[in-house]
């Protein structure tokens, strides 16, 4: 009998040790710094088993104050608070610095935007030699000194923005036997060169010998903007160069209005997309200051209207985003912003490095019918939960377009320099 009790006791202790180890691991993976807005509860969302055994101590105070996970922080005392997380109140697991910040409110977006890599010109992506009539490979543009990365601003005094426009000007000059006068930008320097197009035996058209790309990066969605500072955030992820897979320098870029003309529905293995067109600066116009893992950020040049949220709403700290029902704002037709239901399946605050802090699932029947789930162009669509901005849609699961990733709104605010301790490096507020 005594041996059986001992075995049961040992088995229970092994089980308890495993549970406690799992709980401790869940807590230890939390980021060392959290943000909470003054007057709101420090609510860290754990599985129920972890939360029942979790205790919080405010280390700043003497004596240390033991609290439950839902701890209200003082409304007037913005500043850092050190807290200790422990299991059952006796096993210290992790110390976290909680920065108590003044409440931040923004107006959610949902509007479609066009992203221009540069406000003007076409980008030289590389060189492509021309097989001329004598069978020799030549490159008049390279001979004139044009290099990869240069931006062609004007041809014969005409501002150029698209590949088709350049091709037409080259063909016309070639047929007439004329040189082209190119205005080229390299870094901060602008200079003039002259290039005479050569007829290519391979493509059967006149060419300069360049691979170019126009300034259009594509269509995305505005996530939020601050009506006082006019700072905005969009996309929720970085824009990378298709050739190098490196972040694109968007310091000379801009955002403009866009209209959705049609939808290519997504399916397993084939992500869908919004087909749209730029509408110009009439409704939306802004600069791009930063291109980061959490999205693009800059300043709008004029206020925006949002018929769904006409007044600013609070931004939820990442630790307060919960699993469960939410909604997104996005455009499916024209420029009309609509709301659609989703489910936040998982909150993963350990994914700060890649920005994929949320796993979401589309549940709205109409959105599923029209798009099949998350599609290209939906990136940046704001996620609203409990009347607070909690995040933005960022990526789709290729093998399940109804699911994808999102980035917590707090992380985007940090990149936008809208939280005090996230302002190292370049600031938008300057």
* C-beta of residue 103 within 8 angstroms of C-beta of residue 39: yes
**Calpha distance 263→278 (Å, rounded):** 16
Which residue ranges does the chain devote to CATH 2.60.40?
Answer: 15-103
Is 379 catalytic? The answer is yes
**Calpha distance 238→249 (Å, rounded):** 11
Active-site option among 86, 99, 259, 379: 379
**Calpha distance 104→315 (Å, rounded):** 6
* DSSP sequence for 59-101: TTSSSPEEE-SSEEPPSS--EEEEEEEEETTTEEEEEEEEEEE
Residue 180 CB-density burial (10 A; 0-12 exposed, 13-18 middle, 19+ buried): buried
- Residue in 329, 334, 333 with CA at minimum distance from that of residue 387: 329
Residue 426 has pLDDT above 50, yes or no: no
**Calpha distance 116→119 (Å, rounded):** 6
CATH number of 120-213: 2.30.42.10
Q: Provide, for the chain, the percentages of residues in helix, strand and coil under a 3-state DSSP scheme, each rounded to the nearest 5.
A: 15, 45, 40
- Residue in 304, 294, 263, 292 with CA at minimum distance from that of residue 113: 304
What's the topology of domain 106-115+218-422? Thrombin, subunit H (2.40.10)
* C-beta of residue 152 within 8 angstroms of C-beta of residue 212: yes
Active-site option among 283, 364, 386, 400: 364
* C-beta of residue 122 within 8 angstroms of C-beta of residue 163: yes
Q: What is the pLDDT of residues 346-399, one digit of tens each?
A: 998 776 777 889 999 999 999 999 999 999 999 999 999 999 999 999 999 989
- Per-residue pLDDT band at 207 (split at 50, 70, 90): very high
Which residue ranges does the chain devote to CATH 2.40.10.120?
Answer: 106-115+218-422
**Calpha distance 354→338 (Å, rounded):** 28
How far is residue 415 from each of residues 35, 100, 114, 290, 312, measured CA to CA in Å?
Answer: 14, 18, 21, 8, 19
* Main-chain phi, psi angles of 3, to 5 degrees: -65, -35
Residue 42 has pLDDT above 70, yes or no: no
Q: Give the β-pairing of 33-37 and 91-101.
A: parallel
Give the CATH number of domain 15-103; options: 1.20.1740, 1.10.357, 2.60.40, 1.10.3470. Answer: 2.60.40
- Per-residue pLDDT band at 117 (split at 50, 70, 90): confident
- Least trusted range by pLDDT, from 90-94, 128-132, 339-343: 90-94
Q: What is the pLDDT of residues 289-298, one digit of tens each?
A: 999 999 999 9
Q: How far, in whole angstroms, is CA 397 from its chain's centroid?
A: 16
The pTM score is 0.72
Residue 368 CB-density burial (10 A; 0-12 exposed, 13-18 middle, 19+ buried): middle
Active-site option among 99, 128, 226, 237: 237
**Calpha distance 232→164 (Å, rounded):** 32
Is 237 catalytic? The answer is yes
- Per-residue pLDDT band at 4 (split at 50, 70, 90): low
* Main-chain phi, psi angles of 256, to 5 degrees: -145, 175
How is residue 226 annotated by DSSP? -
Q: Collect all residues with Cβ–Cβ distance below 8 Å to 80 and sequence separation of at least 6.
A: 97, 98, 99, 100
Which residue ranges does the chain devote to CATH 2.30.42.10?
Answer: 120-213
């Amino acid at each position: 009998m005594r041996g059986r009790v001992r075995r049961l006791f040992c088995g229970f202790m092994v089980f308890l040790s495993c549970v406690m180890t799992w709980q401790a691991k869940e807590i230890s993976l939390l980021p060392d710094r959290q943000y909470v807005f003054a007057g709101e509860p420090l609510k860290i969302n754990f599985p129920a088993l972890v939360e029942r055994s979790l205790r919080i101590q405010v280390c700043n105070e003497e004596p240390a104050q033991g609290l439950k996970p839902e701890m209200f922080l003082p409304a007037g005392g913005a500043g850092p608070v050190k807290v200790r997380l422990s299991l059952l109140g006796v096993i210290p697991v992790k110390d976290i610095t909680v920065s108590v910040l003044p409440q931040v409110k923004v107006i959610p977006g949902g509007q479609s935007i066009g992203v221009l890599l540069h406000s003007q010109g076409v980008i030289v992506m590389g060189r492509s030699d021309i097989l001329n009539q004598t069978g020799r490979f030549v490159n008049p543009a390279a001979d004139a000194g044009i290099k990869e990365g240069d931006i062609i601003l004007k041809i014969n005094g005409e501002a150029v923005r698209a590949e088709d426009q350049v091709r037409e000007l080259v063909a016309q000059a070639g047929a007439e036997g004329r040189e082209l006068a190119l205005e080229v930008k390299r870094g901060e320097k602008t200079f003039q060169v002259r290039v005479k197009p050569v007829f290519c035996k391979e493509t059967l058209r006149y060419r300069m010998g360049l691979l170019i790309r126009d300034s259009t990066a594509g269509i995305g969605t505005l996530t939020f903007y601050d009506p006082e500072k006019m700072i905005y955030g969009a996309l929720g992820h970085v824009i990378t160069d298709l050739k190098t897979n490196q972040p694109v320098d968007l310091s000379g870029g801009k955002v403009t209005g866009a209209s959705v003309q049609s939808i290519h529905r997504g399916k397993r293995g084939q992500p869908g997309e919004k087909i749209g067109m730029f509408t110009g600066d009439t409704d939306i116009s802004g600069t791009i200051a930063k291109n980061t893992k959490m999205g693009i950020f800059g300043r709008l040049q004029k206020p925006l209207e949002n018929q769904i949220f006409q007044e600013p709403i609070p931004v939820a700290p990442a630790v307060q985003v919960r699993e469960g029902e939410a909604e997104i704002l996005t455009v499916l037709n024209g420029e009309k912003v609509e709301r659609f239901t989703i489910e936040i399946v998982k909150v993963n605050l350990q994914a700060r490095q890649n920005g994929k802090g949320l796993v979401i699932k589309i549940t709205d029947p109409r959105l599923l019918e029209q798009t099949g789930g998350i599609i290209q162009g939906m990136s940046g669509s704001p996620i609203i939960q409990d009347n607070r901005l909690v995040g933005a849609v960022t990526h789709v699961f290729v093998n399940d377009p109804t699911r994808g990733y999102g980035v917590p709104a707090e992380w985007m605010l940090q990149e936008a320099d809208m939280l005090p301790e996230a302002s190292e490096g370049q600031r938008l507020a300057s």
